[in-house]
Amino acid sequence: KAGVTQTPRYLIKTRGQQVTLSCSPISGHRSVSWYQQTPGQGLQFLFEYFSETQRNKGNFPGRFSGRQFSNSRSEMNVSTLELGDSALYLCASSSGLAGSTDTQYFGPGTRLTVL
Amino acid sequence: SQQGEEDPQALSIQEGENATMNCSYKTSINNLQWYRQNSGRGLVHLILIRSNEREKHSGRLRVTLDTSKKSSSLLITASRAADTASYFCATRIGAQKLVFGQGTRLTINP
């Protein structure tokens, strides 16, 4: 089974621009979560989608948005980029069955640099 | 603030030695998970321990959970250079988001 894939792997943008990151989950997984990882804040939860519905949301401004498609693929969008948005953005998929066996499988991440 | 806090923040040991990392959390949990991250890459799931379990093994990994103290430990026995990575604990409360700690950076010296 193919793992979680994220595109692009690296991205350089300038302040004020917007960016869209893509995540393809493991086949059969219906849940996709997004995380932002920075040296200062560590791993911060962004949002979680299940069957095209946002199930949970982290404490990020409205500039951060996401969606999930019927094939479980997910995208996240960041508008009006700020220098502080430079980070590794990680996507994780799971079967979506909340509870004790809900293991997350992570993609390699997208490294976003905002200049 | 983070639900899970790892201790120590950094650990450096000789190859072949055992490495122990600890994680403390604040509220009751359904399960606690440990992940490994090699430099700048995605996380790899290592082991999940449920709230009604006290100890779990997977190869050279041993995880314990003490719900009365709200703490967990990860022991890696007979460490290898390839174990050099950051290790994170993560907790899930009910159907809520998975919350990660700040991680322990483990360095195995040859």
pLDDT (average), residues B31-43: 90
CB neighbours of residue B48 within 10 Å? 21
Residue type, B71: S
DSSP A85: G
Largest CA-CA distance found in chain B, in angstroms, rounded: 42
Nearest to B43 among A90, A101, A111 (CB): A90
Structure confidence at residue A40 (pLDDT):
86
Q: Do A48 and B97 touch (CB under 8 A)?
A: yes
pLDDT (average), residues A35-49: 91
Q: Ranked by mean pLDDT, which of A16-25, A52-61, B27-36 comes out on top?
A: A16-25
Quick: pLDDT tens for B2-16: 467 888 999 999 999
Residue B28 — very low, low, confident or very high, per pLDDT cuts 50/70/90?
Answer: confident
- Asked if A13 and A112 count as a contact pair (C-beta separation under 8 A), the reply is yes
DSSP B41: S
Put simply, whether A60 touches B (Cβ < 8 Å) is: no
Structure confidence at residue A100 (pLDDT):
44
Least confident piece of the model among A43-57, A85-99, B77-91: A85-99
- Cα–Cα distances in angstroms (integers) from residue B10 to residues A60, B19, B74, B102, in the given order: 28, 11, 14, 11
Q: Which residues of chain B are within 8 Å of residue A99 when distances are taken between CB atoms?
A: 30
Classify each residue of A60-89 as buried b or exposed e, where b means 16 or more C-beta atoms within 10 Å of its C-beta. Answer: beeebbbebeeebebbbebeebeeebbbbb
Closest-CA residue to B103 (of B46, B44, B22, B42): B22
B window 20-49, beta carbon within 8 A of A: 30-31, 33, 35, 40-45, 48
Query: 3-state DSSP call for residue A84?
Result: helix
Q: What percent of chain A has pLDDT above 70?
A: 94
B11 or B91, which is more confident? B11
Please state, rounded to an integer, the average pLDDT across all residues of chain A.
Answer: 92
* Ramachandran angles phi, psi of A37, nearest 5°: -120, 120
Please state whether the peptide bond connecting residue B8 to the residue before it is cis, i.e. omega within 30 degrees of 0: yes
Please give, rounded to a whole number of angstroms, the shortest distance from the CA of A99 to a CA of chain B.
7
Put simply, whether A52 touches B (Cβ < 8 Å) is: no
> Residue B47 corresponds to which tokens in the numbers above?
């082991």
Residue B1 — very low, low, confident or very high, per pLDDT cuts 50/70/90?
Answer: very low
Whole-number Å distance between alpha carbons of A115 and A83: 6
Whole-number Å distance between alpha carbons of B55 and B18: 17
Quick: pLDDT tens for A88-108: 999 999 886 654 457 889 999
- Asked if A77 and A19 count as a contact pair (C-beta separation under 8 A), the reply is yes
Quick: pLDDT tens for B47-83: 999 999 999 999 999 999 999 999 999 999 999 999 9
Query: 3-state DSSP call for residue A52?
Result: coil
